[in-house]
Amino acid sequence: MSEISYQLLRELSVISENDNPEIHSIYESAVQNLDLTGIDYCTIRDLVKLSGRNDPSLHLMLIAMFASLGEGSVCLKLDPESLSRKLKPIAGTKTETSVQSILKDVKKYAELIHVNNDASPQLFTDPRDEYKPLILAGDGDSSYLYFQKYYVAERSLRKRLSAVMERNVPLAKDPDAVKEIIHTVLEEKPVFINRVKAILNEEQKLGVTLPLHENFVLISGGPGTGKTFIVLNLVRVLVRMGVPVQRIKIAAPTGRAAQKLTEAIQRGIASLSGRDSPDRELAGLKGTTIHRLLEYSPSRNDFAHNKYNTIRADMIIVDEASMIDLVLLEKLFEAIDERTSIVMLGDRNQLPSVEAGAVLAHLIPDEEKPAGKVKRRLVLLRDSYRSEPMIRETAREINNQNYGVIDSIPELDLSQGLSLEGIRRIRPGKTGQPYYKELHRLLDFWVEHSYFKQDKKAGSFRTLVDRACDHVLDPADPELAACVEDIFSYLDEARILSPVKSGISGASGINSYIAGRIGSALDPLGGGKIFSGAPIIITKNDYARELYNGEVGVILRGNDGRYYGLFRRMDGFSAFPAEALPPFELSYAITVHKSQGSEYGRVLFIIPDGLNENLLTREILYTGITRAKKLALLYSSTDMLARAIRNRVERQSGINLSEPEKPFRERFI
């Protein structure tokens, strides 16, 4: 699994000839079964030296810590059951003995360096403790071992969350007046969707109302449950309450998510006939990334906004909260003034952040029985209005760990085409062909039906690309703008998802295959990832051009012979020379992580056999399936689907506001 070899560890002095044979055995298992990096192993080497000891249990404990961090946990829980799961891949038959050794020896290491058993409001009472890299918190089976960075962040966030909930300073000073404003926004002057009056259900109305009466609110719901619609109506209420637009901040962890929320708000405002003054004020409301909201400085690697320079806002609305890691969320809460209300929206069942932490899931550990501090501040959106009922029901059963749902998914015969709705499945190996041939046959089928089959209204994808290439790529050309919008509609209709990026079943391998098959058919003059009709995805933010990581565009060749990247905008599209674009990749296929926050008409979800358990989880399966509105097509074996349903992302953390916070002692290693 790991690209690190046992020989490399010897060259890096992670292990030496003089080490206990048991230590050598531990590292042989680690390089075979874990995905630790060279930096991880070198840090373990340095920590062992710092400890002054060279016990096998110390090596095991540190390897388990880095393995946990690699899985997104912010700490290592030191109870026999959790520790056994972490150690089994490297300790094997000696797991039980190893667990007992660590639980016994961790106190020995604490005594070697420093032990502080006194509860204190100060994290470090002795300045020398600030240089200790590990922190042990808790007692007995409720003990957690942290790297200092994550413990400091978690402790701070936990205290800030508790403080926010204890000091409720609601925006609604006059409940009767606010009630009248809400009635005006939702009933008298509602938003229209496709020229139809949008009516909120009771949960959505609560999502609009609750943030006016509580200064911290969590809103959790799957795709199509109305989270964005709640934000639109909430900001309309705020401006009518007299909140200046410049004191309403909207943020998301990624630039693309912030942009999508901005566009949704602007579309909603544009749907209002005879917009009155308050709604017109919202024309200037734009979302931003959390980093930009905090005014991040790369040169200083720090934020301008902090506890000494808080964000000037009456309300901060944060979308895609499940994607925010622990450290960034702590920095955000540090910069929030005590009079500022905050609303966090997300889907707790979706994949958590790439970095360590799964804060939203830990704040809402049980959707069915919310309790404790978050109960009165929580809005759960259960009704989806976007995807097919069969997709929603399958996703629900996956979250309920119902293995029977696998057999309930009908199989697709390729002769049926892709006009079906709901969820379908193709089992690998049914044709008797080698896997790569069967996969390529499926990809050819997908491409033919998604890009070359004639559409009654606009024509085929190829026809649209040819039509666009006849023009000077000028966004002011209305005929071209209509053609480009049809191209983007095609791209929105179909996407291939994979849990991984590399390999023939990964996003990169699939993109290379499809580009090789159809690139010359779309554009004989193009090549590689630069050809007319090539869908692309930006992989690095470019703030000057307002192109963000995760934003999808399309390459087109203008009638001047040059290639451009085109990107959808509220008023049409923007175009940039291909050579001036920030880093990008083809996007016929993308990883499930990259798909978060997006939706497509049809999704082909390819799950190859033999995936690492970290890459095949219930959250990945749920996220992939729920990206589809009309049809989710799974290419996966029964075994892999069952493993995904069984294997849930378990990120360990000390944050749990569903129960009263219990004081605990802190010991520093």
pLDDT of 667 reads 35
Is the model's pLDDT at 96 over the cut of 90? no
* Same domain for 507 and 605: yes
Q: What is the pLDDT of residue 666?
A: 40
Q: What is the pLDDT of residue 412?
A: 86
Rounded mean pLDDT of the chain?
Answer: 84
Do residues 132 and 239 share a domain? no
pLDDT surpassing 80 at residue 494: yes
**Lowest mean per-residue pLDDT among 95-104, 146-155, 352-361, 566-575:** 352-361
77 and 175 together in one domain:
no
Average pLDDT over residues 425-429: 90
Q: Which of 381, 414, 431 is at the close of a domain?
A: 381
- Tally of structural domains, the chain: 3
Residue 205 — pLDDT band, cuts 50, 70, 90?
Answer: very high
pLDDT value at position 616?
85
Q: Residue 316 CB: number of other CB atoms within 10 A?
A: 23
CATH number for 603:
3.40.50.300
Whole-number pLDDT of residue 459: 72
Q: For 369-375, what is the mean pLDDT?
A: 64
Asked if the structure places residue 657 within a domain, the reply is no
Burial of residue 527 (CB within 10 Å: 0-12, 13-18, 19+) is: exposed
Domain membership of residue 428 (yes or no) is yes
pLDDT at residue number 313: 95
- The arithmetic mean of pLDDT across residues 233-245, rounded, is 94
Q: Which pLDDT value is given to residue 146?
A: 85
Judge if 373 and 404 occupy the same domain.
Answer: no
Is 159 inside any structural domain? no
120 and 75, same structural domain?
yes
pLDDT score, position 125: 55
482 with 587, same domain: the answer is: yes
Range of 165-169, 281-285, 483-487, 584-588 with top mean pLDDT: 584-588
| Range of the structural domain that residue 377 is part of | 167-381
* Confidence label for 17 from pLDDT (cuts 50, 70 and 90): confident
Residues 135 and 246 in one domain: no
Asked if residue 555 belongs to a domain, the reply is: yes
- Mean pLDDT along residues 348-374: 66
Burial of 438 (0-12, 13-18, 19+ CB in 10 A): middle
Q: How far apart are CA 129 and CA 311, in angstroms?
A: 32
Pairing of strands 287-289, 494-498: unpaired
pLDDT interval class at 370 (50, 70, 90)? low
pLDDT of residue 365: 60
Indicate the residue among 330, 355, 381 that finishes a domain.
Answer: 381
**What is the per-residue pLDDT for 363?**
75
pLDDT above 70: percentage of residues in the chain: 89
Residues 538 and 436 in one domain: yes
Residue 122 CB neighbours (<10 A): 8
CA–CA gap between residue 384 and residue 115 (Å, rounded): 52
On whether residue 116 sits in a domain, the answer given is yes
In this structure, of 46-50, 167-171, 361-365, 568-572, the range with the lowest mean pLDDT score is 361-365
More confident residue, 324 or 663: 324
Within a domain: residue 156? no
Q: Note the pLDDT of residue 130.
A: 65
Least confident of 66-70, 214-218, 244-248, 471-475: 471-475
The residue ranking higher by pLDDT, 67 or 142, is 67
* Between residues 559 and 353, the one the model is more confident about: 559
For every residue of 79-138, DSSP letters joined together read: SHHHHHHHHHHHHGGGHHHHHHHHHHHHHHHHHHH----S--SSS-SSGGGGG--EEEES
| Residues 389-404, mean pLDDT to the nearest whole number | 90
Residue 193 has pLDDT above 80, yes or no: no
pLDDT at residue number 232: 93
| Residue of 106, 87, 107 whose CA lies nearest to 97 | 87
Domain boundary among 79, 114, 148: 148
Q: HEC states along 407-463?
A: HHCCECCHHHCCCCCEEEEECCCCCCCCHHHHHHHHHHHHHHHHHHCCCCCCCCHHH
Asked whether residue 160 is domain-assigned, the answer is no
Per-residue pLDDT at 469: 80
Is 40 in the same domain as 63? yes
Q: Is 49 helix (H, G, I), strand (E, B) or coil?
A: helix
Mapped onto helix, strand or coil, the DSSP state of residue 277 is: helix
Q: Is the pLDDT of residue 381 over 50?
A: yes
For residue 115, is pLDDT > 50? Answer: no
In a domain, 664, yes or no: no
Q: What is the pLDDT of residue 189?
A: 86
Query: What integer pLDDT is reported at residue 114 of this predicted model?
Result: 44
Q: What was the pLDDT predicted at 655?
A: 61
- Mean pLDDT lowest for which of 159-163, 284-288, 456-460? 456-460
Q: Check residue 276 and give its pLDDT.
A: 65
The reported pLDDT for the residue numbered 167 is 80
pLDDT at 663: 37
- Specify whether 373 is located in the same domain as 429: no
Is 1's pLDDT higher than 70? no
Contacts of 32 (CB under 8 A, 6+ apart): 1, 2
Q: Are residues 467 and 570 in the same domain?
A: yes
- In this structure, the answer to whether residues 431 and 541 fall within a common structural domain is yes
